Amino acid sequence: MVPGSRLIPWETAVSPEQDTGKVDHPVRIESVGAKLRSEVNEMVRGGFLVLICSLALACGGGGGGGSAPVIPPDIGIPDPDPDPDPDPSPPRPEFIEDIVFDQTVPIDFGTRLTPFIEIAVPSDTISITVESFLSGSSVLMGIQDLTGPAGRVYVADRYGGDYTYREEAEIFSATIPNTDIEALGVFAGEYRFRLYVRSSFINGIRVRIILERRAGAVNELGQLPLNVWLAAGIPVNAGNAATDSRLQDVIREIFRLLNQNGVEITRGDIDYYDISNPDYDSISISEFDELCRSSSGAKKTRLNLFFVREVFGDGVVGASATVSGPKRNGTRNSGVAVDYTGVTGFTGTKTIGGIAAHEIGHFLGLYHTVESDGTHDIIEDTAECPANGTSSECSIRGGGLLMHWEYLGAELLTPGQGLVLRSHPIGGSND
């Protein structure tokens, strides 16, 4: 099947039948602010995911039952000697990326819905990414009525299942699959959906659809290119970044975690940039918005990793602008930020690299394996650990899982999480 797309006029658009092939667990593509309401350790502030040192790295204070979490000695803290430097440019898997739809679509003033958009998905497709973009505006928006081949229902309506909307967003991005549940994967055939935009003054929205394709639809290898941004107040700059031993140890640790068995994401090309404005040495939430927007100055579209001296204050050591971020530079959601200096007692490269890998995991589509309220992700092969403490399934606190809400210095990513990470289009090209 040749990839294609079409827009269905409102007067001919009808809701698809939803009684055939309905899946009980809709794909989760949802708002950081709506989904994650942790109050102590990893918190949501203004739509960001933030990692707070007071519990995440046991750097003072109590919590989670009155005591700071214990960092298991067998999962990476204190720092061991770094691993040997991997090949910085391993052979790149053969990736095909198709942008099958990229145009402004109208919004009906009454329903606040776009017309249905239909796309033909070929058999070698491993993921579908939908982006909707409003330059200079921030409104609530998201997917509604998403169906696939044979009447398969991913989203029944904007309030149904695990989907919610991005609050105060200028860009909405969602990648399917974001779970290892086989019934919610990508299948060859026709997909259709429409978007909801809550605004009374916007009459059109830019929509882009990206298909990632691999030979035989085999999603087993990935590669992640980076734009690394360096604040003026940290002891490394773009001129010496490629040879700076501390920074390269941090980057090595990121890809040691992302390239573990079953995840298989290798280091792609990396460009280094200076953040010249010293006001961004220590960033507030609004400055993180502007820092992400400054990525428009990058030469290529890659994941933007900002190393600064302080992230938001109050013990925050890392933040992702969103879950399932856009393949687009220059928006308020275009990156992750990490405290490069660390916190008292935890300044090693293994710690900083682990924090960066956790935040990158969010940007590429991973939620916490468990939230502070006990809600679990929809990745089937992650252990269902309690929010705090241990259980028969999790003999150590957090289960050794990198994406546990408390972080805890853990390392493990599962093959199911790897499937989601490799599906994000940011690794689909180095352009």
pLDDT at 154: 84
* Region of poorest pLDDT, from 26-30, 346-350, 372-376, 387-391: 26-30
Percent of the chain with pLDDT over 70: 74
Q: How far apart are CA 39 and CA 293, in angstroms?
A: 27
pLDDT, position 205:
93
> Does position 378 have pLDDT exceeding 90, yes or no?
no
pLDDT of residue 75: 33
Provide the token pair at 247.
């920074």
CA dist., res. 149 & res. 209, Å (int): 17
Confidence of residue 313 (pLDDT cuts 50, 70, 90): confident
Residue 68 pLDDT: 29
- What is residue 412's DSSP assignment? B
List CB contacts of 336: < 8 A, sequence separation 6 or more. Answer: 303, 304, 305, 306, 318, 319, 320, 321, 356, 359, 360, 362, 363
Categorize the per-residue pLDDT at 431 as very low, low, confident or very high, splitting at 50, 70 and 90: low
- Candidates 237, 238, 140, 265; CA nearest to 195 is 140
Whole-number percent of the chain with pLDDT over 90:
57
Number of C-beta neighbours around residue 393 at 10 A: 10
CA distance 32 to 166: 7
Amino acid residing at 19: D
Average pLDDT over residues 138-156: 85
CA 373 vs. chain centroid, Å, equals 21
pTM more than 0.75? yes
Backbone angles phi, psi at 383, to 5 degrees: -60, 140
> Of the segments 18-27, 230-239, 381-390, which one has the largest average pLDDT value?
230-239
| Residue 137 identity | S
Residue 2 has pLDDT above 70, yes or no: no
Distance between CA atoms of residues 404 and 392, nearest Å:
17
Taking the C-alpha atoms of residue 321 and residue 289, their distance in angstroms, rounded to an integer, is 8
- Please give the pLDDT value at position 167: 63
Exposure string for 85-120, b = 16+ CB within 10 A, e = fewer: eeeeeeeebebbbbebbeeebebeeeebbbbbbbbb
The amino acid occupying position 333 is N
- pLDDT exceeds 70 at position 243: yes
pLDDT of residue 89: 52
How far apart, in whole angstroms, are the C-alpha atoms of residue 300 and residue 330? 11
Triad 19, 22, 28: Cα angle to 5°: 140
Mean pLDDT of the chain: 80
CA atoms within 13 A of residue 150's CA, in its CB half-sphere:
9
Q: Is 105 left (phi over 0), alpha (psi -120 to 50) or beta?
A: beta
Is a pLDDT exceeding 90 seen at residue 144?
no
pLDDT per residue over 189-211, tens digit each?
A: 999 999 988 887 888 999 999 99
| pLDDT(78) > 90 | no
Q: Which of 111-120, 161-170, 223-232, 283-292 has the lowest mean pLDDT?
A: 161-170
Dihedral of CA atoms 283, 286, 288, 291 in degrees, nearest 10, equals -100
pLDDT at 36 over 70: no
- Which is more confident, 17 or 128? 128
Q: Does residue 43 carry a pLDDT above 80?
A: no
One-letter identity of residue 201: F
